[in-house]
Amino acid sequence: MSFLRGFKFALKGIVYTVNHERNMRIHIIVAAYLLYFTGYYGLSPVEMSVLLTLIALVIGLELINTAIERVCDLYSEKYNRLIEIAKDVSAGAVLVAAIFAVGVACFLLWRPNTIWSIILFHCSSPERFTLLVLTVVIALLFIIIGPKRMIENAGSWFSKKKTKND
């Protein structure tokens, strides 16, 4: 197997997980907003490295959790206590990492003056406020219905609708 083919398979796994796992979409959106808002903080390279490492840890564990769940589902469709334990433990690993990541992010980013400055900046003009609200709406759609359905629905907006007169 070539080196680049390995990347292709890995990317397929990431895309699958994004399309099929709501929690992965939540992690991605939280990470995107976190990375955007860290631009207002002037974090040191070490602080930024810690945040990026925790983001990678949470997303990586979500990928592993999805893989474990799919293998367990392949093994048996019937209830199996050991499968339940495996799924619960892998989900627990994601939860522990996510809680730890939120704690570290709060520790690094809890600066009320900076938070207030960010709020004032985004609310100071209708354009910035509208853009922020629009990104939140798109993020919620991404989380709730997923990228695959968003693309399908967007395609239907632009395709010509047939009427009875056509």
Q: Give catalytic residue positions.
A: 62
Residue found under tokens 């925790």? 54
Nearest to 30 by CA among 97, 111, 90, 125: 97
The neighbour count for residue 111, using CB atoms within 10 Å, is: 12
Cα(28)–Cα(123) distance, integer angstroms: 25
Asked if 59 and 31 touch (Cβ cutoff 8 Å), the reply is: yes
The structure tokens listed for 101 are: 């990541």
